[in-house]
Structure 1
Amino acid sequence: MAGATTLGGMRPESGPVDAGARPAGWRRAGVLGRLDTPGRLMVAVGVVVLLLGALAGVTVVSPRAAEALGQDAAAASASNSASARDIYQGIADTDAAASVLFLATSLAQRDALMGLYVEAVDRAQSALSAAMVRAYDDPARLARLTTIADEVRAYRKVVDDGLTVGLGDDFAKQAVLASAYAREASFYISDVVLPSVMRLGTEDQERLARAQRDGQLWRIAALGLPVLVLLVLGGVQWWLWRRTRRRLNAGLVAAVAAVVVVLGLLVSSWSHYAAAEVGFTALASRMDSEGATQQQLGALLSGRADVSLALGASVDPVKHHQDFLARDLCGSAAGQVNCTALTPVWTARQSGVAGDYDAAVDLVLPGGNVETAFASAREQISDRLDQGERDVDAAVQWLPATPVQHRLLMPALLLVAALAAVAGLWARLSEYS
């Protein structure tokens, strides 16, 4: 018989071919490949609900991250930095005042120097107390401030002990005893207390950087997740259309519309992000500059203590001279000291010339040329600190306000989206019952 034949002499069927037919032995890979249409609908319901729930969580949590980039968080960090600066200056002033106490040559002079010391240490402790009150809701910072307060009390006890053993009218004896205590106290404040205070400013910088990193992550989640949800909803709609040849699923369309609105609200709530990042970078830079000036002031006051301690009867003046030079304070620039005026101080103990020591003490005590030179440098640095504080305040004021976060509206819309999507998919699923 003419014509093509198949195995067994039978012709191929001429009816419509099943679009789902596959070659013999073909197997779908994966879990979805082993599920029938109702099973896949159930998976689609689970995935859609899971993603909408995750998006709802983002809309609840991300507003806090968005607000952390706003003016309030930055102002808090700037305020904390100002507290650290006040504490640092107060403690450095205390060290400078304590270092000259043992140089008194009369009761009246000792009382005057004692007044300066007590005023400085009280100012430092008041700044600490005020900072601790502001940090009542920040346990980590409060713990740091408590540690510093304990260190200041320990420092004050050392100085007070030195004053106690040096009481009386024998000022030569007082110089020997009290200067030893002053030296130990100065080393303690330079090596322990001031570095602890500086870490407060470092933590503020880290807080700002952390707010930026958190903002970046939450921004990606807040804007990327709704796009992913829209893609999944569109994919499910396309699969249903391919499977059933029906028009758009009303439930999925409603869900898509709700998610689109939520995406628009999220874009609005993060619209300040770009400007906030620029502002935070400028604020961090100005706080860095303020911290550097603060350290320069600390170095100046520590150098001031070195000069006084070099005249002590029980210490090595050469070592204090070396410490002073290492602070890089000599020069004619703003905040520096004319070190030529200090020469009589460094040589007073070894000169062997009558009157040289007393003349050096007069230079160092309030009203002397050395004290005046340090006071001038201190004033210049303080002016720079004041300007730096104004710059920080200006950077804070420049930061954009956080837009409305729609805290209740977005989760409500996503609940509607979830109900609509489940209803639309369940209607298709019920057709297989």
Structure 2
Amino acid sequence: MSSQPTGGAPPGSGVGALSVPGQRSPAAAPETPGPAGEPGQIPEPPHEPGLPSRLRAQARTVPGGLRVVAGLLTVLIGAFGVAASFQVAERSDAARDVLSRSQPLSADAAAVYRSLAGANTAASSGFLAGGLEPAEVRERYDRDIATASRKLVTAAAATDGSADSAAEIEELSRLLPVYTARIEAARANNRQGLPLGGAWLRNANDLMQEEMLPAAERLYQAEKERLRTDYATAQGFPWVAVGLGVLTVGALGGVQHALYRRTNRRFNVGLLGATAACGVLLVWVTAGHTLASAGLSDSYERGVRSLNVLNDARISALKARGGENLTLVARGAVTVPAGQKFAGQDSYDVAYRAEMARLLGPEGGGRSGGLLGQALELADDPAGGDPVRAAADRAGEWRERHLKAREYDEAGDYEQALKRVIGAEKDEATGASFDRLDAALEKALAHEQGEFERAARTGGGALTGLVAGALVLAALGTAGAGVGIARRLAEYR
């Protein structure tokens, strides 16, 4: 019987044979996993995270979060400063335009309208005086024509970007020499005693009433609309700047509260400085705009509205005077067509009555209605109200004297009617009442112009320095926020 080796493991027991001293056993080959875990393959190196992942991971740390907060505060404070500077600059420019461009242009347009109406009135007054018109009447006509020409040149140079105004200026510049030529033809015929002079005068008046004065009125209205637009821009509330300011101050307060809860330190000098700078800018923008808006509103209520009404009143007075003169020039040759209101009546007398009703109101008193009543309501001090009261008194006197002149004219006494209008007894003629009315309105206009300029300067002055101040305070706020966050970051190094 054969014997089994002693000390060996039975076959299939899973226990390796005992090694023999001095004999090396062969090493097992290493098993390498292949792709997808398959044996016999080399493993891939570990995947490194990309830049976005690293940034997100870094932002989750306290230092990284502080850097993100610093960046957001910088953007927010910068946006606040830029918005405040831009919106204040826009309103400051509009306020400056109100004082230096749009209101003067509106005044020039009113002067063109008034000068044309005045020249037309002076021409008819000179015609009524006979062959050789008085020197003072001729001087008034020449002065009004020169003023209209000069103001048209000024308006043409300053009216940029307004196609409507430019078209009206071009039309008036074209028609003005045509009108003056017709007036000269009327004068030449009148000096020779030819009846054709009256036809030339009526022809010139038709050109003025039907083409030139409507164009001047459209120019006047266009410039008044531009003035209203500049006022609206200057008084617009800077919502974007104020909204960003509130958000910025709130964000700075929130960051300081979060840092206090984390570090238990009450104050961060840098962030406190940034909050103070942004808070000052927010208050400055809000208060500056409020004061500017109040000043501009005052200039509009106390100045512009009064100026508009007084200009309209003066123009109505001039047109009424022209109608009164032409009533005597035409001697009933021009009547209202059949089928219209006041049919058969003298057209120029109807025009006179319409302008006087506009001036004095339906009751004819002047102090409680019409343009003079409106001007008196808008006058807020004796210096502005007294000239308007005087104008109303002179207008009422004019209306009474005109009725007397019409009585003589309708009775066939042309010479007496003429004396009542431009007669030698100037203190009793309607012309004297008109001259005093015009002088009173001119005085009231000068006063209201001064009121407007003072109030507009006060309003615009409230924004002085705010454009540059907004950028400086925003820069200080950005620097303060950066320093405050940097101090906290230094604790993690």
Q: TM-score, normalised by structure 2?
A: 0.63
Is 2:45 aligned against 1:58? no
The runs of 5 or more residues in structure 1 that have no matched partner are 1-34
Which range is displaced more, 330-339 or 304-313? 330-339
Distance, in Å, in 2 between the alignment partners of 1:98 and 1:43 is 80
For residues 382 and 233 of structure 1, do their structure 2 counterparts lie closer, same or farther at Cα, with a shift above 3 Å needed?
closer
Is 2:247 aligned against 1:228? yes
Distance, in Å, in 2 between the alignment partners of 1:74 and 1:173 is 48
**Structure 1 equivalent of residue 160 of structure 2:** 139
Count of equivalent residues: 380
**Structure 2 equivalent of residue 360 of structure 1:** 417
Q: Which aligned pairs between 1:152-301 and structure 2 lie closer than 5 A?
A: 152-163=172-183, 165-166=185-186, 167-168=188-189, 169-213=192-236, 216-217=237-238, 220-235=239-254, 254-255=270-271, 257-268=273-284, 271-286=287-302, 287-301=304-318
Which range is displaced more, 292-301 or 374-383? 374-383
Computing the radius of gyration from Cα coordinates, the structure with the larger value is 2
For residues 275 and 226 of structure 1, do their structure 2 counterparts lie closer, same or farther at Cα, with a shift above 3 Å needed?
closer
Contact 1:293/1:385, CA 8 A, preserved across alignment = yes
Q: Which amino acid aligns with 2:324?
A: V
Contact 1:59/1:410, CA 8 A, preserved across alignment = no
Deviation at 1:301, TM superposition (A): 0.4
> What CA deviation, in whole Å up to 9, does each residue of 1:22-66 have, x standing for no partner?
xxxxxxxxxxxxx87837959756644442331131243244256
For residues 231 and 37 of structure 1, do their structure 2 counterparts lie closer, same or farther at Cα, with a shift above 3 Å needed?
farther
Q: Which amino acid aligns with 2:334?
A: V
2:120 is aligned, of 95, 101, 116, to: 95
Q: Which amino acid aligns with 1:357?
A: Y
For residues 366 and 192 of structure 1, do their structure 2 counterparts lie closer, same or farther at Cα, with a shift above 3 Å needed?
farther
Distance, in Å, in 2 between the alignment partners of 1:277 and 1:375 is 39
**Structure 2 equivalent of residue 307 of structure 1:** 324
Is 2:435 aligned against 1:383? no
Distance, in Å, in 1 between the alignment partners of 2:281 and 2:70 is 25
Contact 1:59/1:407, CA 8 A, preserved across alignment = yes
For residues 36 and 315 of structure 1, do their structure 2 counterparts lie closer, same or farther at Cα, with a shift above 3 Å needed?
farther
Deviation at 1:186, TM superposition (A): 2.3
Contact 1:334/1:381, CA 8 A, preserved across alignment = no
CA RMSD in angstroms comes to 4.1
Q: Which amino acid aligns with 2:219?
A: S
For residues 304 and 404 of structure 1, do their structure 2 counterparts lie closer, same or farther at Cα, with a shift above 3 Å needed?
same
Distance, in Å, in 1 between the alignment partners of 2:147 and 2:490 is 74
For residues 161 and 75 of structure 1, do their structure 2 counterparts lie closer, same or farther at Cα, with a shift above 3 Å needed?
closer
**Structure 2 equivalent of residue 117 of structure 1:** 141
Q: Which amino acid aligns with 1:412?
A: A
Q: Which amino acid aligns with 1:225?
A: L
> What CA deviation, in whole Å up to 9, does each residue of 1:323-379 have, x standing for no partner?
22222146563351432322465577765x3xx334434544475512222112212
Distance, in Å, in 2 between the alignment partners of 1:366 and 1:147 is 41
Deviation at 1:209, TM superposition (A): 3.3
For residues 155 and 100 of structure 1, do their structure 2 counterparts lie closer, same or farther at Cα, with a shift above 3 Å needed?
farther
**Structure 2 equivalent of residue 31 of structure 1:** none
1:340 is aligned, of 376, 397, 400, to: 400
Which range is displaced more, 378-387 or 287-296? 378-387
Contact 2:124/2:326, CA 8 A, preserved across alignment = yes
1:412 is aligned, of 475, 478, 481, to: 475
SS in 2 for 1:301: helix
1:395 is aligned, of 451, 455, 462, to: 455
Distance, in Å, in 2 between the alignment partners of 1:192 and 1:411 is 50
Contact 2:288/2:462, CA 8 A, preserved across alignment = yes
Distance, in Å, in 2 between the alignment partners of 1:112 and 1:261 is 66
SS in 2 for 1:311: helix
> What CA deviation, in whole Å up to 9, does each residue of 1:138-175 have, x standing for no partner?
7247x666445434324423423423554442431111
> What CA deviation, in whole Å up to 9, does each residue of 1:208-230 have, x standing for no partner?
232111xx22xx44444233123
For residues 401 and 380 of structure 1, do their structure 2 counterparts lie closer, same or farther at Cα, with a shift above 3 Å needed?
same
Q: Which amino acid aligns with 1:413?
A: L
Distance, in Å, in 1 between the alignment partners of 2:135 and 2:68 is 85
For residues 190 and 80 of structure 1, do their structure 2 counterparts lie closer, same or farther at Cα, with a shift above 3 Å needed?
closer
Contact 2:94/2:233, CA 8 A, preserved across alignment = no
Q: TM-score, normalised by structure 1?
A: 0.70
**Structure 1 equivalent of residue 19 of structure 2:** none
Q: Which amino acid aligns with 2:172?
A: V
> What CA deviation, in whole Å up to 9, does each residue of 1:275-333 have, x standing for no partner?
33332222111121222112111110011111122234353262222222222146563
Which range is displaced more, 286-295 or 298-307? 286-295
